[in-house]
Structure 1
Amino acid sequence: MAAVRAGAAELGFAETAPAWRLRSEQFPSKVGGRPAWLGEAGLPGPAELACALCGRPPAFVLQLYAPLPGRADAFHRGLFLFCCRSPPCCGGLRVFRNQLPRKNDFYSHEPPSDDPPPETGEPVCLKLKSGAHLCRVCGCLGPKTCSGCHRAHYCSKEHQTLDWRAGHKQACRQSDNLDNVVPDHNFLFPEFEIVIETEDESTPEVSEKEDEPEIIGSMGEAPEEELDSMAKHESREDKIFQEFKAKVALEPEQILRYGRGLAPIWISGENIPQEKDIPDCPCGAKRIFEFQVMPQLLNYLKADRLGRSVDWGVLAVFTCAESCSLGTGYAEEFVWKQDVTDAP
């Protein structure tokens, strides 16, 4: 991701891309599929990734490549967002940060080539250079092994069951061909590249509405203080929502807004976090806003199901202001969910 111009947000758009462009060695920003992990050591395990509400394994939503200019220890830097998509929960959210210096154990010192690499015949890489095995379903750390073939790895019993039903029951007996029969599980969200463009700064201001004429009903009069309070609340709610709509209207397909240290745009005046609601990083530093996921992404995820499904108005991600050094591990950051039902 390019350096952000002072005061300007960067907008993310979902576009189709060849599979090779979305692999780890290309340092992609992407939606869906399996994570293209940055650092290949210290991946978050099943317990760290599990939904905090229902305990089930989450689905990978998106990742952003967001290096910090001038920081040698964050020459490569990625943010990884996960959500629970298991009904009736569909509520848990988790986000992780990883960063590496330019000289590291996993990638060349030189930038990746713009040319497609030679095909290896392996559609899905489920073993990292570090030796870690990944779950055949979700692409997260897979410490569990199939008791039949001892070659298929999983993050959980739930995903082993999904893979068994999706064809591993037959493939398990054909271990010579096991690595080439990994299905594209329905558990995964559709995969897209995130293309970044800087927002046009000539955003029109939202015009203030004229005061509404007083309406006198026939059911008695409310106290004047109550009417004033209601009017102020509705005016603020409407202004915030109108500002959100005005921003989005300029680029209706935006799925993401990035601006480290800037302020998010909220869809509603309800459920906006205060400073005390954003926990500090374990290193002691404050967390600051870095990016937000827009409701337009839901159109690409195709997550609609009968009953409860994945849904949000705004997802705002806050990360360590110091982007503290992690070695080769992944640190959990903080995500705030503002539901679309909070909007007027």
Structure 2
Amino acid sequence: MAAGGRVELGFVEEAPAWRLLSRYFPSKVGGRPAWLGQARLPVPEELRCGCCQQPCAFLLQVYAPVSGRTDCFHRTLFLFCCRNPVCYSPSDNRCFRVFRNQLPRKNDTYSYDPPPEEPPLEGPTCVDLQLQSGVPLCRVCGCLGPKTCARCHKAHYCSKDHQVLDWKAGHKQYCSIQSDHSDVALPDHKFLFPEYEIVIEPEEVEYKEEMQEDVDSSVNTKTCTDATAAAVSGMQLECLNEEELEAMAKHETKEDKVFEEFKKRIALEPEQILRYCAGGDPIWISSEKVPQEKEILNCPCGAKRIFEFQVMPQLLNYLKADSLDESIDWGTLVAYTCSEHCSCENKYTEEFMWKQDFLCT
């Protein structure tokens, strides 16, 4: 992955299931997490929505090793989100959780050498619900599963919420069967997002100064009368003095400029769902609700967090998350991670996520 100003773009592609397994160190969207480290996974309480307290769903992961750091030879960022549309209120980041995990090249789980580029001779016939270390995973979401079915003691869950969901989806039909259930296909719980591989490519075309000049020109030719017309629609003009009208005009012009910059930049590659540039700068859809430095919480190790990647609104087109005319939504999701790439003490460390919406009030 790029750092220091070079931008890399992520695009979704269909991929065979074997390429999305943990041992191939994938970047991917949806399905169950392809966990990197086998120990000290996020506990269920860490993966609950901060608004409704329901379990979050796995959204995506990005494989992002750090060059020159032996302890970050393998490094992956995991992003989770709530599936409840009502939790997506403007400027509320609590429905997202992002975690970082990293390993040295020599570790107890993966081969020292790169994985082969061809499919394994004997692939799994069903979803693997147990890590190589023996840690059980939830049948519904693929996260840590410390709870078990009280009846068969073989099905594992992250929470009572997912135990109930699995029971209704079909577990009750074979719960008492005297087997390990490994030959029983998992039902569709309607909880996971569709699964895709994220393919990374460099941003080939740089954002040229003349494009910026075009934006400035189109914005500056907009009159104050045009800019304030919509803003004062339905209001009595005499209620606003000249200074207030001028301030509104400037605000509208600034917002138009920022949004036009955003559209110009992504128009070069309209299918991008992710932008990666560790230590660089995100592109914003609005001048409103851009985090101040003090709002980006430091890492528990004390180091500042820096921008690493952002998720683009185009990803929403692939998630099939609409329900009764409601959907999860965002303008852009921006992830900030520890600038020192601290060791994490061999655990999954939570990082900082910021959500910016298209309409900020």
Corresponding residue of 1:179: 182
Whole-angstrom CA distance in 1 between matches of 2:225 and 2:320: 44
Could you say if the C-alpha distance between residues 175 and 246 of structure 1 is closer, same or farther in structure 2, counting changes exceeding 3 Å? farther
Shift of 1:120: 4.3
Is 2:122 the partner of 1:119?
yes
Whole-angstrom CA distance in 1 between matches of 2:181 and 2:194: 23
Shift of 1:121: 4.4
Identity of aligned residues (%): 61
AA of the residue aligned to 1:252: P
Secondary structure in structure 2 of the residue aligned to 1:94: strand
Whole-angstrom CA distance in 2 between matches of 1:16 and 1:59: 20
Corresponding residue of 2:296: 278
Is 2:53 the partner of 1:55?
yes
Aligned positions of 1:176-255 closer than 5 A: 176=179, 178-181=181-184, 182-204=186-208, 205-206=211-212, 207=214, 208=216, 209=218, 210-213=220-223, 215=225, 219-220=237-238, 222-255=240-273
Find the partner of 1:260 among 278, 298, 319.
Answer: 278
Shift of 1:7: 2.0
| Contact 1:17–1:193 (CA under 8 A) maintained in structure 2 | yes
Is 2:160 the partner of 1:140?
no
| Contact 1:149–1:173 (CA under 8 A) maintained in structure 2 | yes
Q: Which structure 1 segments of 5+ residues have no match?
A: none
AA of the residue aligned to 1:153: H
Could you say if the C-alpha distance between residues 221 and 141 of structure 1 is closer, same or farther in structure 2, counting changes exceeding 3 Å? closer
Aligned positions of 1:298-317 closer than 5 A: 298-306=316-324, 308-317=326-335
Secondary structure in structure 1 of the residue aligned to 2:170: helix
Whole-angstrom CA distance in 1 between matches of 2:261 and 2:222: 19
Whole-angstrom CA distance in 1 between matches of 2:299 and 2:4: 24
Shift of 1:165: 1.4
Whole-angstrom CA distance in 1 between matches of 2:347 and 2:75: 12
Instruction: Give TM-score scaled by structure 2 length.
Output: 0.90
Whole-angstrom CA distance in 1 between matches of 2:165 and 2:238: 61
Is 2:341 the partner of 1:323?
yes
AA of the residue aligned to 1:211: T
Whole-angstrom CA distance in 2 between matches of 1:7 and 1:120: 40
Q: Which moved more, 1:102-111 or 1:173-182?
A: 173-182
Corresponding residue of 1:338: 356
Instruction: Give TM-score scaled by structure 1 length.
Output: 0.94
Whole-angstrom CA distance in 1 between matches of 2:19 and 2:284: 32
1:226-251 CA-to-partner distances (Å, cap 9, x unmatched) read 23322221121111100000011111
Shift of 1:214: 5.3
Shift of 1:221: 8.2
CA RMSD of aligned residues (A): 1.9
| Contact 2:205–2:268 (CA under 8 A) maintained in structure 1 | no
Q: Which structure 2 segments of 5+ residues have no match?
A: 89-93, 230-235
AA of the residue aligned to 1:339: D
Shift of 1:87: 4.9
Shift of 1:307: 5.5
Whole-angstrom CA distance in 2 between matches of 1:256 and 1:291: 7
Corresponding residue of 1:19: 17
Is 2:156 the partner of 1:159?
no
Corresponding residue of 2:315: 297
Corresponding residue of 1:67: 65
Whole-angstrom CA distance in 1 between matches of 2:353 and 2:335: 4
1:21-68 CA-to-partner distances (Å, cap 9, x unmatched) read 000000000000000000010100101111111111100000000000
Shift of 1:131: 1.8
Q: Which moved more, 1:272-281 or 1:172-181?
A: 172-181
Find the partner of 1:77 among 57, 75, 78.
Answer: 75
| Contact 2:305–2:336 (CA under 8 A) maintained in structure 1 | yes
Could you say if the C-alpha distance between residues 6 and 175 of structure 1 is closer, same or farther in structure 2, counting changes exceeding 3 Å? same
1:283-305 CA-to-partner distances (Å, cap 9, x unmatched) read 00000000000000000001111
AA of the residue aligned to 2:181: L
Could you say if the C-alpha distance between residues 149 and 201 of structure 1 is closer, same or farther in structure 2, counting changes exceeding 3 Å? same
